[in-house]
Amino acid sequence: MRVLAVVWLAVVLLCGLYLGYRIHQGTLFRTDLTALLPQDERNPVLQQASDTVSRALSRRVLFMVGHSDRDTVRAAATQFSANLLSSGVVERFDSQFDAERVVRLGRQYFPYREGLLSERHRTLLQQGQGERVAVNALSQVFGFVGMADAALLRQDPFLLLPGFIADLPFPASRLAVDDGYLTVIDEGVTWIALTGLITGESMALDTQQRLIDVVTEAETGLKAKAPTVELRRLGVVFFGHAGASLALKEASWLGSLSLLGTVLLIVVVFRRIGPLLHNLLALAVGTAVALSISFLIFEELHVAVLLFGISLIGVAVDYGLHYSASLFDPAMQRPAERLAHVRMAITLGLLTTLIGYAALLLAPFPGLHQLAVFAVVGLVAAFLTVILWVPLLDRDRTLRHGAVMLQAAAALWRFWSTPRLRPLHYTLLAALVLMGVLGWLRLEVDDDVRHMQALSPALLKEQADIQHLTGAVPAAQFLLIRAADDEAALQREEAIMPVLEALLAGGQIASYQAPASYVPSAARQRENTQLRAERLDGPLRQSQYAKLGLPVPEQAAPAAQGVLQLAEALQQDTVPYLKDLVVAPGLHTITLHGLKNADALRAAFAGIPDLWVVDPVTDFNALLGRYRDRAAMLIAISAVLMLLPLFWRYGLRGALRVMAPPTMALLLTPAALALLGQKFTFFHAMAMILVLSISVDYAIFCAEGEVGHHSIIMLAIWLVTFTTLLSFGMLAFSEVAIVQGFGLTMLVGMCISLFLAPLARRRTESAA
């Protein structure tokens, strides 16, 4: 044992050194809820597109700077954007339409102007109404405000390129360009919109904190110069930071309360420093090794792992508490005897608990994989510490106090083992059955991911303010098109645009953005060139120059050979929003704004091959529902696997007897939650796996109880239950819905498991 203890010491030291190195290097934590949630393995193409769109959207931030004076707000917006750009937290702002940007956009399109037509101009030419195109151009030139200069008119007398650029599908909003800035005036306040793209990973905690610090400093600078300047912000990164801050805050105070409660409990019960130090040692080693191995495997962890990780406090001390409880037994004077007394029970308890946690690895949730690894490694480390180190460190003698406490702890055992109370037993069991039936009849499920997030009220208000000011709602749905290459994808987009236009005219959508709207297919550009030559340049070119008072060029400035390719436009990155719409070559998205009827949208595109309607929230809710059902299967698998070591130890009848209380707890816990008004979610179901594994522990210790030792066994079980409730149960006070549901499930499940655990005792034993 001493050799193994030294080996384990070397392993712990190595893990500690690696953990210290990672802390020194800077630990990485993710904050997005979706990292905890399942990946849609049914369609890798959809998953790739959804991930790409989500990443693009999550890096976008929108600031609204407002003031009653136009000059003041323009100066503030300029200073604010310059501060963010110079700090490096934002790599560019896309909403500043200065002259240089307009020039770059024009340079991008101008060489290919002959093949670029707005949809309106194209329709008029197809209908043989070239004269209307010419007259419209003249009206713009000779109108109240001239729309073109002589240089442009010499090259484009029909103003087809300005018409194409004006027809680009920018999201509909109340914003208008005012001397280079997107601006809106609302109730006498001039607001300027600044849309930026942040650097780094938006869900990395260090990226979020750096952005928050820079924005706060920049806002302070604005207020110093103009105290009445207002700032609104919107972006996934801000909600992620708020959620992470809440999670870390809760992890701190919940963990502190859990640890303090555990320490006080041990001190009050044992009145010795030894049991306290032994259990704290097991907890510290379990936590440190779990963090070290988790960072080694995953590189970065989700902040929820820290929050759920405090539950390890209540489970990691279980093995030490069972060992320490043997101090009350006068028949066990030496540490070796105490270890021998509990070794089999805590080993079986570890196996069944590991089966429950390992079942989380079967769920396709990255965050739950991290939680499972953290818990499995931490529990094994705590177990090995108790087995290998605590007996060597144990110098305590048998405890002489606690007679009243032992009698009180054994009351539940005596209740279930007293023959004359059997009528009351049957009455209570019948009441539990009735409660279960009523609860299951009231049970409701809720798979809406939006109900699982704790969103900052302040940020929600800012979001509402920005949506009011801009008049725009971010796109939540999109079409995904897959084709052999970009050209084929662009042609498919152009083929379905009439359907989109019909939905637009019918009010089913407010607007849409497609790559083909910015860069038409090569086939469409060639068709446009021919259409323009036949219906416009040929019959009307000379007369148009005459009406403009310009000489007819002997030879028009040559346009570029060929057509504008999508790859070229993406490379130059001058066309706004285009990069966000192209997932990969041949894999494009069409974003939809203001969708009113998802069913009508799906019906409009039903049956079209390699085209999918993607509604992330709705699709994700359906996915959660499927995995909630799968969680029930995981529970069944866990129960069957737990029977194997129990069968080896107790035989078939004994194994079934031990599994009876945990099974009853599994059936009664959802019913009790329903009666408490809780709607059942996937995370409630995953918590049920842990209810099963921990309640099996209780049953095993009752089954392992020897005649005359049930008071010590029950004291240990009560202590374990209290520490579990101090850790898992504390999660019920979280403001994060999924954490709260997880904790409340454990709280209810543990109480039921404790109450029923003595039913697993050996039937030959009577009450003492």
Q: Encode pLDDT of 528-565 as tens digits.
A: 999 999 999 889 988 988 888 888 876 554 455 578 99
Pairing of strands 176-178, 301-302: unpaired
For residue 93, is pLDDT > 50?
yes
**Cβ neighbours for 483, distance < 8 A, ≥ 6 positions apart:** 489, 491, 492, 586, 587, 588, 610
What is the pLDDT confidence band of residue 767, given thresholds at 50, 70 and 90? very low
pLDDT of 9 > 90? The answer is: yes
C-alpha–C-alpha distance, residues 626 and 616, integer Å: 15
Residue 375: the pLDDT is: 84
Number of H helices, E strands in the chain: 31, 13
Residue 232 pLDDT level (bands cut at 50, 70, 90): very high
Q: Which two tokens stand for residue 5?
A: 């203890």
d(CA 197, CA 618): 27
Structure tokens at 650: 């107790």
Give the pair of three-digit tokens for residue 627: 């995995």
CB-CB contact of 401 with 267 (8 Å): no
State the pLDDT at residue 525: 94
pLDDT at 145: 47
| Residue of higher predicted confidence among 364 and 440 | 440
**Rounded to an integer, what distance in angstroms lies between the CA atom of residue 160 and that of residue 544?**
13
Q: Which pLDDT does position 768 carry in this prediction? A: 42
Q: Which fold has domain 239-451+618-760?
A: Multidrug efflux transporter AcrB transmembrane fold (1.20.1640)
Whether pTM > 0.85 for this model: the answer is: no
- Judged on CB neighbours under 10 Å (0-12, 13-18, 19+), 42 is exposed
Q: What is the mean pLDDT of residues 510-522?
A: 91
Count the neighbouring beta carbons within 10 Å of the beta carbon of residue 749: 27
Identify any residues that bridge with 534 across adjacent strands, giving them in sequence order.
none
The pLDDT of residue 255 is: 73
Q: From residue 252, how far is each of 243, 503, 731 by CA, in Å?
A: 14, 51, 12
Is the model more confident about 662 or about 631?
A: 662
The token duo for 149 is 């200069």
User: Long-range contacts for 402-406 (Cβ within 8 Å, ≥24 apart)?
Assistant: 402/269, 402/328, 402/715, 405/269, 405/715, 406/328, 406/711, 406/712, 406/715
Element (H, E) at 29: strand 29-30
Tell me the pLDDT band of 76, cut-offs 50, 70 and 90. very high
pLDDT digits (tens, 9 = 90+) for 471-509: 766 666 889 899 999 999 999 999 999 999 998 888 888
3-state percent breakdown (helix, strand, coil) of the chain, nearest 5: 70, 10, 25
The band of 361, judged by pLDDT with boundaries at 50, 70 and 90, is confident
- Which distant-in-sequence residues (6+ apart) come within 8 Å of 19 by Cβ? 288, 291, 292, 295
CB 586 within 8 A of CB 483: yes
Q: What is the pLDDT of residue 580?
A: 80
Mean pLDDT of 90-109: 72
Q: Please state the rounded mean pLDDT for residues 185-213.
A: 86
* Inter-residue contact 662 to 695 (CB < 8 Å): yes
Q: Does the pLDDT value for residue 522 go beyond 90?
A: yes
The single-letter DSSP state of residue 731 is G
What DSSP character marks residue 115? Answer: G
pLDDT-derived band at 39 (thresholds 50, 70, 90) equals: low
Name the residue with higher pLDDT: 519 or 683: 519
Sort 144 into a burial class: Cβ within 10 Å, 0-12 / 13-18 / 19+.
exposed
Greatest extent of the chain over all pairs of C-alpha atoms, in Å: 116
* Residue 559: per-residue pLDDT: 52
Whose structure tokens read 């078939």?
Answer: 652
Q: What is the pLDDT of residue 628?
A: 83
Tell me, what amino acid is at 624? L
Distance in angstroms (rounded) separating the CA atoms of residues 343 and 338: 8
**Residues 222-250: b if buried by 16+ CB within 10 A, e if exposed:** beeeeeebbbbbbbbbbbbbbbbbbbeeb
Task: Write out the H or E segment, with its range, that includes residue 662.
Answer: helix 616-675
DSSP type of residue 27: -
